[in-house]
Structure 1
C-alpha cells in the first residue's frame, strides 16, 4: 500500500495532518503541493502513482478537492480512522482562525480602521480571481469546443441567470456526449484489474456517513422548523456540497446567486470580505462558507453570537462532512472510475465551464470593488444584470488590484504577503 514497511501510527499521521492544516495557504494548488511534499517526498508514506490516482479521483468529486485528497490519503494509510483524522485536521486549524476573524469582523467591521483594511483586502481578491482564471484556463481551454463551453457557461449565469446546478449538469452531459462521439482508443496492455470491492460495504458506508452528515440538518428541521435560519443554512450548504464542481471560485458563483441575492444573508461586499479572510488563513478557500453561515446567524432576527456560531458550525459541517461519504464509500471503486472515458469527458467539460463561471464571478466582483457605483440593466425577458458604472472608477482600488494581480501571476509572491500589503495599502482610503 505504501513505500514504508509499515503504515504510520495514528499519532504520526495526526502530526502530519495538523502540520498541513496549519501551513495550507495558497488555495487548492498550494495545499495539494504541500500534501505531496509531506506524504510522498518527506514521509514516503504514499507512492507517486498512488497520490496521482487519489488526486484524479478527487478532481471528479463535488466539493473541496484538497480536503477530499487529505481524507483519501489518511484512508489509504490508516483506514477510516486515518481518513477522519487527516480530513478533520486539514480543516480545523483554518476554521478556528476564520471563526475568530469573522467574529471580529461582524462586531467591529464598521470601524473606519477595520473598514479601510478590508477595503485593501477586497481589492486583493480581484488578483486572486485573475490568478485562478489563468490557472484554470491553462488546463481547461484546450480547443474551440472548450472555449465555446466556457463562453456558454458565462452567458448562462451572467446574462440569462440560469440556475447554477443546471449549468454544471449541462456541461457534464455535453462532455459525456462528446466522449461517446469519439472513436474508441486501441486497447493498451494493462495489469489485471483489482478485485471489485463488495457493493454492500460501499452502500453501508454511504448510508452510515450520509446519516452522520445529515443528522444536524435533520435535528434543526425537527426542533426548529424548516424556516429557521439553521435549517435553511444546513439545507443550502448540503445542496452546495453536492452540486459544486471546480473549486472554491465555482462555489462563489452559487453563493452569489443564493446566499446574497435569494436569501439575503449578507451583501456582495461582505461576501468578498469573507473570501479575503479565507484567502489569508490556512485551510481550504471554501471556509468562506463558514463566514456566510456566521453572517446569516449574526444578522438573522434574534441573531447574535450564539446563533451565528451555530450557523457557522452548520455551514462548515454540511460543506466538509460529505467528503467522508465520497471517500469512504467511493474510493474503493475509484480505479474503475478513473479509467472511464465518460468520467474523463465529463470532468474536462465541467472544467471548461468552470472558466466561464469564474469569469462571471470576476465581473460581478469587479463591479462591486473597482467602481464606486454599478448600473442595473433590465433584460428583455425579465431580470436584472449588474454592470460597473465605468464613469465612476475607484482608482485606488484599481491600483491595489492591479498590483496584487501582477504580484501573484508574474512574481508568484507569497499570498499572505500580498494580502498584508493590500490591507496596508487600503489604509490610504482613510485620507482620500
Structure 2
C-alpha cells in the first residue's frame, strides 16, 4: 500500500514537472511573439493613422533601461500631481525584451519614438476598434460625456421618495471586468421582492470604458478616473446623500475607493468575489498581477487572464479579432444557436476597447491593491457595514481574498457559497442572492 502511495506521488510530481516545462516553452514563445507584434503594430499604426499611436509600455521600459539601467521609477507617472499608474504596466517581465535591453538593442529606430503620447490622443475611433453605432454612441455627447446608468425608481413614489415615513434606499451597483450594468439588470432587478421594489432606488452603472459608457482614448482609466465619472454621472445628478454599494470582482476595488471617499454617506458595502490582497508589501500591485494572472496553462481561465494581462500587443490582437468584429460573431452565434437574443454575458464580453480594458486591468485591479488596506481602515473607522460573498470554487479570485478582508476588518461578514465559482456566485442563484442583498439593506435601514 505504501509503495502505491509513493508511486502516485512520483507520478504526480512528474506530471507537474512536464506541465511546468510545457508552460515555460509556451510563454517563452509568447514573449517572442509579443516583441514581434510590438514592431508590427508600430509600423501599422504609423501607416494607417499618419503617425505612431504612442510609445507602448514595453518601449518605455526599454528606453528607461537604456538611460538609467533601472525601470522601477517609471511607474511614478503623475496624473494631476498624483502617482496613479500601476507599476505592473512597466515591470512585466519578458525574456526577449530583457535580452535586447541588456544588449542595448532598441526594438525600433529612434525616429519612430515621436508618436502621440497617451494624453494627446484624440477621441476618434481607432482603426483596430469597432466603429458601430452602439460602440460610438457616447461620442454624440463628447462635450459632456457621462456613464450609461440604468435607474429603477421605487414603484410607489411620493415626495422625497418616502415610503412608510422612510426615505427610499439608494443602491449603486458596480460590475466586474469585461461586464456591464446588464450583470445586475438581468439578475437582481427582476428578482426584487415587492417591498424592495417600493422602497429601493437602484442604479446599475456601465463603468468607464465598458458597455455603453464612454471609452476615451485620452484616459489612463485610473481609480480616480472611475470615481470621478461615477460621482459626475450618478452621485451628483441624483443628489445621493446616502447609498448602499454592491460590486462584483473588479468593481469591488472601485467600490472600496468610492466608499472610503464617501464614508459618511455609505450605509453598507457588499463585495462579491473581491480581488483583495494586503497592501503591506511595496510590490502589492505585482503580487496582485501574479496571483490573479499567473503564467500558467491550466486552468484555461487562468491562462486567458495571464495572456491578456501580461501581453499588451497580443491582447490587442484578441480585441481586434473579437471586439472589433463583435457584430459578426453575434450574428454567427445567433445563427448557430437559432436564438434571437444572446446571453448578456457574451454581449458584454466584447463591449470595450483594448485601451480601456488594458489600463483598467492594471491601474484598477493591480494598482488598487496597494490602496485596499487604507480603504478598509477608513470604512472600519467609519463603522460602515461590510459584507463579502464568494464561491468556494472561485478559480479567478482566491477564496483567501475574502478571508483576509475579515482579518483586516473583524466586523466584516463573510458568506461562502458552497460549490459556486466566480460567476455562479450570482448567476444561477439570482433569487437567493437578491434576498441576501435585501436582508443586508433592511438590517442597516433598521439601525437608522
The verdict on a shared fold, with TM-score over 0.5 as the criterion, is no
Question: Relative contact order (C-alpha < 8 Å, sep 6+): which is higher?
Answer: 1
Larger Rg, first or second structure (1 or 2): 2
Structure with greater proportional helix content: 1
Structure with greater proportional strand content: 2
**Taking structure 1 as the reference length, what is the TM-score of the superposition?**
0.28
**Taking structure 2 as the reference length, what is the TM-score of the superposition?**
0.27
